[in-house]
A and B are shown apart, each in its own frame.
Chain A
Amino acid sequence: QSALTQPPSASGSPGQSVTISCTGTSSDVGAYDYVSWYQQHPGRAPKLMIYDVTKRPSGVPDRFSGSKSGNTASLTVSGLQAEDEADYYCSSYGGRNNFVLFGGGTKLTVL
């Protein structure tokens, strides 16, 4: 059982938007603005897509956006494209006793 809860799957058609949630607790997601999102294609290393809840690293399309409300963070992918089909993982800083927490991952399917 992962520390952060994500839906196992999500889907959308090309051009549509999809939102993936990541639920933690008041000790991790709710306590700090250090939520990250990673994209992982099969057989590849994870790629950082969002950090500090809303920030995008250089080179990440602005179709990817992050937000947080209370103990739940969200990743929204707008204008879905075929290459967005991948697994997405959230992570959060959890304090000194649980420094990094990951979600179980969400498989995004582009229909």
Chain B
Amino acid sequence: EVQLVESGGGLVQPGGSLRLSCAASGFTFNNYWMLWVRQAPGKGLVWVSLINPDGTTTYYADSLKGRFTISRDNAKNTLYLQMNSLTGEDTALYYCAKDLHYGSSDDWGQGTLVTVSS
């Protein structure tokens, strides 16, 4: 059974940084592209970032380029999202997801909540 478990969310002040983690199990992690998707409270899904199986190719939503960095450690079966210069607009539930192909995600974690507030 595929399991994706996000962690690292919490309350952070504006301008601060946070690193999210996503522990994967139940599938061969280093064979799959992985994504981060976020959802602000009461709002819709927004794609954040995507990384290829060996971590050498990454894509980001235009609005986030330069502040967020996706990475992975295939030895630890873990996906990461480093988030810098956070603002209130980054407040959201952050999901990690396994990519089926071309951004279609067939398995999702339960999300980790990031709240940016002073």
Contacts and interface: CB of A to CB of B under 8 A. Distances in A.
Interface of A: 2, 32, 34, 36, 38, 40, 45-48, 51-52, 57, 89, 91-93, 96-105
Interface stretch (B21-29, B75-83, B84-92, B106-114): B106-114
Given A100-B50, A104-B44, A45 B100 contact: no
10 contacts: A34-B101, A45-B109, A46-B37, A48-B106, A51-B106, A91-B47, A99-B103, A100-B35, A100-B37, A105-B44
Contacts of A93: 102-104
Nearest to B35: A100
Given A45-B95, A96-B59, A100-B50, A51 B104 contact: yes
A73 B110 CA distance: 27
Contact size range, B: 20 to 34
A36 B95 CA distance: 17
B102 A48 contact: no
Interface of B: 35, 37, 44-47, 50, 59, 61-62, 95, 100-106, 108-111
Contacts, number: 65
A57 B106 contact: yes
B62 to A, nearest CB: 7
B97 to A, nearest CB: 8
Contacts of A2: 44
Specify which of B37, B44, B104, B108 lies most central, judged by the most chain A CB atoms within 10 Å of its CB. Answer: B104
B44 A45 contact: no
B47 A101 contact: yes
Given A2-B44, A96-B59, A45 B50 contact: no
Nearest to B49: A99
A67 B100 CA distance: 19
Given A45-B110, A102-B45, 15 more contacts: A34-B103, A34-B104, A38-B105, A40-B45, A46-B45, A46-B105, A48-B104, A48-B105, A48-B106, A96-B59, A98-B61, A99-B50, A100-B37, A102-B46, A103-B44
B98 to A, nearest CB: 10
B108 A100 contact: no
